[in-house]
Structure 1
Amino acid sequence: MRSTSVRADVLCLITALIWGFAFVAQRLGMDHIGPMAFNGIRFALGAAALTPLALRSMRYPPPAPFLAGAKDGFPWLGGLLAGAMLFTGATLQQVGLQYTTAGKAGFITGLYVVLVPLLGLFFGQRAARGDLVGAVAAAVGLYFLSVTEDFTLAPGDGLELIGAFFWAGHVLLIGWLSPRTRALPLALAQYAVCSALSLVCALLFEDTTLAGIRGAAWPILYGGLLSVGLAYTLQVVAQRDANPTHAAILLSFETVFAAVGGAMFLDESLGARGLFGCCLMFGGMLASQLWPKAPVRPGA
């Protein structure tokens, strides 16, 4: 049991590393093609890479057949729901990256770690003190990171913030679905849904050329094969066995890797004000997960 938990933690950390550096690839790719086309192609690549493994896993019975949604046992309903959530979060993130830095996008997206327990309030879960402390620290950090001295919020930062709510919803949904259905077919289904929705939007709203796709080939390959095909699949597999607190903390390191990648490959600098905000946000993320989980009692 211990080895299973350690393996899940390692998978979560690898996922965070790949996702963090994916912000760099996502920015570089949009030098050549639009955000919808980039997402559509990379999620299609991720789905294609995962298809052989997903089909092979169909030999085994799902943990909860009543969730399969079809006689063949493929998780159609779960994939549709997760894919729609994934599409919304990925679209907001990708469009927002056109107007902000990779490092800032990573830290704002990372707010989903704090938002996950707070959104649980809508499902009757009570917030612990650490969740409240973490939310306050993250909100103050977001102010220093994203709000300028003349009290304006950059459009890209606002889109990333809205997207963080959808990433939190996606984590909650995957956490509920993963133990109840086949992990790999679920991952494949959500990639296919996200890719289809993105490509339709690209056809309607963007002018995508073959030359542009060739120019963005390496970022697309990283975003498709590693960030989608590998990392999202590792998330689905890891969350079956990972301690929820461990998973959230380790996945939050995506924010650190995004800032490091932006500095290394894009010459980005957050400045003293931004770094202070990042420290507060990261501290809030950790407080939300490490604080003792005794619920707040009324009047306390």
Structure 2
Amino acid sequence: MKTRQMKNAGILLLTAIIWGFAFVAQSVGMDYVGPFTFNCVRLFIGALVLLPYIALSDKLNGTDTGKQGEKKHKTGREEWIGGICCGFALATASCLQQIGIMHTTVGKAGFITACYILLVPIFGLFFHKKCGILVWIGVILAVIGLYFLCINENLTIGRGDIMVFLCAIVFAIHILVIDHFSPKTDGVRMSCIQFFVSGVLCLGPALILEHPHLGQLLAAWQPILYAGVLSCGVAYTLQIIGQKGMNPTVASLILSLESVISVLAGILVLREMPTAREVLGCVLMFTAILLAQLPDPGKKEPSSPQADE
């Protein structure tokens, strides 16, 4: 069990790394197209990237349809429900975030968005998702670390901040929806469905409010392609796969490392050296992740010799 959880933690860490580097792509892409257009195109790209994998998987496993037809039908229903629910949440959260970034600073947007790490355990209490004391300490440390990492000015509340906070609420719901459906579904299929649903939901506002044209999309092809293939097609799919069997609060803590990765990306790509305040924030966040991985002192470990397998 522990081996599987460590593997899933590694998958979620890879997700956070991709999202951290995708921050540059999202910022650049907004110079050419509106938020609904950017999200619509990248979400459809994310779905299209997964179709060849699904087709190949169906071909390789096609011989088992006769024996497990009833089971596959049930799983397909769960995938559609989960994909539609995730699609609504992803479209809402992504658009709120993109719009909010236009009316607030990048640092504040990053801090407020990542506050889903505090919202996930609070919402989880209503669904009987309890956390140990070390996880709660980790959540508090992570929020403090995010503050030092992202906030360099007086913390005032504006319209953009409210939009981003609403985005954090929906991202917390998105994580809990994945936690509910991921053990019952094939992660790649559910991810593909959520991208198509999200893309369709963003298409109407993009056409009505932003009137995109081909020249804008061609000018932004590089950030859109990165955001579509890696940030959507790969990372969001890895999130669904990595969350299987993981406590949603611990998963949210690992995913929040995207803020730390974005600082490291600035060092590697843009040669931006972090301040002492940002270094402190990174240290606190890494400490929070390590605390969340330790066994709960109030919970006895199983004595079975096969417990770690």
Q: Structure 1 residue 205: deviation in Å?
A: 1.4
Say if 2:27 is the partner of 1:27: yes
**Aligned CA distance change for structure 1 residues 147 and 158 (closer, same or farther; 3 Å):** farther
**Aligned CA distance change for structure 1 residues 122 and 8 (closer, same or farther; 3 Å):** closer
Select the structure of larger CA radius of gyration: 2
After TM superposition, the structure 1 = structure 2 runs for residues 1-300 of structure 1, keeping only pairs within 5 Å, are 4-58=4-58, 59=62, 65-66=73-74, 68-69=76-77, 75-126=79-130, 128-130=132-134, 132-134=136-138, 136-137=140-141, 145-146=150-151, 148-149=153-154, 152-240=156-244, 247-262=251-266, 292=296, 294=298
Q: Structure 1 residue 172: deviation in Å?
A: 1.2
Q: TM-score, normalised by structure 2?
A: 0.77
Whole-angstrom CA distance in 2 between matches of 1:53 and 1:97: 34
Q: Is the 8 A contact 1:110 1:252 kept in 2?
A: yes
Q: Is the 8 A contact 1:24 1:265 kept in 2?
A: no
Q: Structure 1 residue 262: deviation in Å?
A: 4.5
Q: TM-score, normalised by structure 1?
A: 0.79
**Aligned CA distance change for structure 1 residues 9 and 276 (closer, same or farther; 3 Å):** closer
Q: How far does the alpha carbon of each residue in 1:211-268 deviate from its partner, in whole angstroms, 9 at most, with x for none?
A: 1111110000000001111111112222235576764443232121123334655687
**Aligned CA distance change for structure 1 residues 97 and 266 (closer, same or farther; 3 Å):** farther
Aligned to 1:298: none
**Aligned CA distance change for structure 1 residues 216 and 272 (closer, same or farther; 3 Å):** same
> Unaligned 5+ residue runs, structure 1?
296-300
Whole-angstrom CA distance in 1 between matches of 2:253 and 2:136: 16
Whole-angstrom CA distance in 1 between matches of 2:147 and 2:3: 41
The AA in structure 1 aligned to 2:76 is A
**Aligned CA distance change for structure 1 residues 12 and 131 (closer, same or farther; 3 Å):** closer
The AA in structure 2 aligned to 1:117 is P
Q: Structure 1 residue 183: deviation in Å?
A: 1.6
> Unaligned 5+ residue runs, structure 2?
300-309
Whole-angstrom CA distance in 1 between matches of 2:206 and 2:121: 34
3-state DSSP class of the match of 1:240? coil
Aligned to 2:302: none
The AA in structure 2 aligned to 1:112 is Y
**Aligned CA distance change for structure 1 residues 222 and 260 (closer, same or farther; 3 Å):** same
Whole-angstrom CA distance in 2 between matches of 1:38 and 1:185: 23
Query: What is the percentage of aligned positions where both structures have the same residue?
Result: 39
Q: Is the 8 A contact 1:102 1:262 kept in 2?
A: no
The AA in structure 2 aligned to 1:213 is L
The AA in structure 1 aligned to 2:177 is L
Q: How far does the alpha carbon of each residue in 1:188-222 deviate from its partner, in whole angstroms, 9 at most, with x for none?
A: 10000001111111112113122111111000000
Q: Structure 1 residue 47: deviation in Å?
A: 0.3
The AA in structure 2 aligned to 1:47 is A
The AA in structure 1 aligned to 2:216 is G
Q: Is the 8 A contact 1:23 1:102 kept in 2?
A: no
**Aligned CA distance change for structure 1 residues 269 and 93 (closer, same or farther; 3 Å):** farther
Q: Is the 8 A contact 2:104 2:160 kept in 1?
A: yes
- Cα root mean square deviation, aligned: 3.4
Whole-angstrom CA distance in 2 between matches of 1:16 and 1:119: 22
Q: Is the 8 A contact 1:103 1:259 kept in 2?
A: no
